[in-house]
Structure 1
Amino acid sequence: MKKSTFADLSLLIVAFIWGTTFVLVQNAISTMEPFAFNSFRFFIAFVILFLSLLLFQRKQLQFLSKRIVISGFLLGFWLFLGYATQTLGLLYTTSSKAGFITGLSVVLVPFFSFLLLKQKPSFPAVIGVSIATVGLFLLTMTDIAALNIGDFFVLICAFGFAMHIIFTGKYSEQFPTLLLTTIQILTVSILSMISSFIFEDFNEMLKLSIISSQSVIIALIVTSVFATALAFFAQTSFQKYTTPTRVALIFAMEPVFAAIAGYYWANERLSISAIMGCLFIFLGMVFAELPVERFSRFRNKMASKEAN
């Protein structure tokens, strides 16, 4: 199996994990403040990654430098912005809608990738993004009359995640994966804790009744281990074998998984429009995976016919 194909499949699994944890996070933040929840979630993930670094990849510590710390902090900042606004948004909107709007990053990534990194997306990728955008429109617009402040927060989240994808592609080729991931996850934990002290009642979250809540414990275990430590290590590891635009298209499947999880676990409705949107997103992802050579040969044939 090609490295690019294996990378795409691995990132699709990451999208599945993220999509299916929306409901868990929403249940948890109904008990614990969102910034406090993220500070715990990412700190637990940091401990897991740091111990893995010491036990299995200690040699990577020799690459610790100002450059990698700054790069890891930048990744962590965009990740913090994404998760902070997404978690805040979940206080006011449904898990399905949050997943849908988060997926709008698929539109932002090609634009910022070209603007910041001068990476021009391929023709199949452009078509795939267009198809996926139609799908996201169908999904998001099903509840247009019910748009609220939570949807605005999640839109900021889409911007943060888009920037995180772009810079992960840039830095993953320059630095050791586990060390870079550990730094960015620690950054998110610290920024979340600072935000919790400023904007939330931090003493409230230290109550045993909150920390020992079943919904909080389950959400922290699942999200810190699978949706944070393993997921971001996988993203940082495999994104170097693909392009930011393809990663964004793969991650556009996250709202599809979120919608399915919301339907089965939270009794959230799925309209015909939402189902069609899911199909369009899937088709957009598949379309973008088609070889560029096929489109070149097709356009050459069409040009030849027109010339004759």
Structure 2
Amino acid sequence: MKKSFLADLILLGVTFVWGATFVLVKEAINTMPPFTFLAVRFLFAALVLFLFMFFFARDSLKGMDRRLWISGAILGLWLFAGYAFQTFGLEFTTSSKAGFITGLSVVFVPFLSLWLLGQKLKRNALLGSGVATIGLALLSLTRDLSVNFGDLLVFLCAISYGLQIVLVGRYAPRYHAFSLALLQIFFCGVFNLIGSFLFEDVSVIVSPAVLFDPWVLWGLLICSVLATAVAFVAQNQFQKFTTPTRTALIFATEPVFAAITAYFWAGERLDVQQIIGCLMILGGTLIAELGGHKDTPEPDVVPST
């Protein structure tokens, strides 16, 4: 089996896990409060990634200076914002809609890159943004043109993810990818733990009835190990064997997997207008991400879903 084909299959599996976690998180936060769930998820993921680095990539733990910690904290803050908006938004909207709205982060990246990095805005980014915006309106607006509060929160999540991706592009060339990922995952967990202490009953962490609830337990294990720690390692290990264009195309299927898993596991349904909106968001995302890019190697980025 060719390495490129195997890499594509593994990245597709990672994307499926990311898409499937929308349903898991939506069900888990019915029992464990959102900040607490995210705190456990990311701190446990940081522990798993640290152990992996300690045993298999110990060199990446060297040279973790003050600038790296500050950069990790900044990335962790935006990662925290993205997951917080998404998780709270899932309390008020469906997994399917949340998956497609979150996918808009890819559309925001070119505009945020123009603002923060001074990178030239491509024509395809404008076209893709227009298509995706129309799709978002069809997906989120009700018959009376009102917007679901959960959809608005997930929209803010997409902006936060976009900022995180752009800032990764700024910081990644300066540091070892594993070290930077470890710190941003760790700080994301810390920020969520602070939110848990301030706004929730953090004692549920030690409550067997909560911690061993099937949705919570499986949600934490899958989200922490597979969707965060393992997904990051897999992306960095196998993305170098395929092309950026094919990788972007694979990652763009995440909201599709979110909708499919929500359909079979949670019984969610979309009407014709919402399905058209989903297809337009997916199409706009692909136009913005794939159009006009040369098929050359790019720096690795940390997964944001």
Q: TM-score range by the shorter chain?
A: 0.7 to 0.9
Q: Does 1:255 align with 2:293?
A: no
| Structure 1 unmatched runs, 5+ | 294-308
Report the CA distance shift for 1:144/1:206 in structure 2 as closer, same or farther (over 3 A): farther
Aligned equivalents of 1:143, 1:167: Cα separation in 2: 38
**Paired residues of 1:7 and 1:242 also in contact (CA < 8 A):** no
Tell me by how many angstroms 1:274 deviates.
2.8
1:6-34 deviation digits (Å, cap 9, x = unpaired) = 99987665443222211111111101111
Q: Which residue of 2 aligns with 1:17?
A: 17
Tell me by how many angstroms 1:226 deviates.
1.6
Q: Does 1:289 align with 2:290?
A: yes
Report the CA distance shift for 1:8/1:277 in structure 2 as closer, same or farther (over 3 A): farther
- TM-score of the pair, normalised by structure 2: 0.82
Partner-residue secondary structure (3-state), 1:30: coil
Aligned equivalents of 2:226, 2:44: Cα separation in 1: 11
Bigger proportion of residues as helix? 1
Q: Which residue of 2 aligns with 1:63?
A: 63
Q: Which residue of 2 aligns with 1:38?
A: 38
1:82-136 deviation digits (Å, cap 9, x = unpaired) = 1112111112222122223323323322211101111124334443343333333
Report the CA distance shift for 1:233/1:169 in structure 2 as closer, same or farther (over 3 A): farther
Report the CA distance shift for 1:101/1:143 in structure 2 as closer, same or farther (over 3 A): farther
Q: Which residue of 2 aligns with 1:140?
A: 140
Tell me by how many angstroms 1:42 deviates.
0.7
Tell me by how many angstroms 1:273 deviates.
2.4
Report the CA distance shift for 1:290/1:99 in structure 2 as closer, same or farther (over 3 A): closer
Tell me by how many angstroms 1:146 deviates.
6.6
**Paired residues of 2:131 and 2:281 also in contact (CA < 8 A):** yes
The structure that has the greater radius of gyration is: 1
Q: Which residue of 1 aligns with 2:171?
A: 171
Report the CA distance shift for 1:135/1:151 in structure 2 as closer, same or farther (over 3 A): closer
- TM-score of the pair, normalised by structure 1: 0.81
Q: Which residue of 2 aligns with 1:278?
A: 278
1:57-76 deviation digits (Å, cap 9, x = unpaired) = 11122221111111111111
The 5 Å alignment of 1:81-100 reads: 81-100=81-100
Q: Which residue of 2 aligns with 1:157?
A: 157
Partner-residue secondary structure (3-state), 2:92: coil
| Structure 2 unmatched runs, 5+ | 295-305
Q: CA RMSD in A?
A: 3.1
Q: Which residue of 2 aligns with 1:184?
A: 184
Question: What fraction of aligned residue pairs are identical, expressed as a percent?
Answer: 46
Tell me which moved more, 168-177 or 120-129: 120-129
Aligned equivalents of 1:100, 1:128: Cα separation in 2: 14
Aligned equivalents of 1:146, 1:260: Cα separation in 2: 26
Partner-residue secondary structure (3-state), 1:63: coil
Tell me by how many angstroms 1:79 deviates.
0.3
Aligned equivalents of 2:226, 2:43: Cα separation in 1: 14
Tell me by how many angstroms 1:218 deviates.
0.7
Aligned equivalents of 2:161, 2:14: Cα separation in 1: 14
Q: Which residue of 1 aligns with 2:213?
A: 213
Report the CA distance shift for 1:85/1:283 in structure 2 as closer, same or farther (over 3 A): closer
Aligned equivalents of 1:13, 1:219: Cα separation in 2: 17
Q: Which residue of 1 aligns with 2:111?
A: 111
Tell me by how many angstroms 1:183 deviates.
0.7
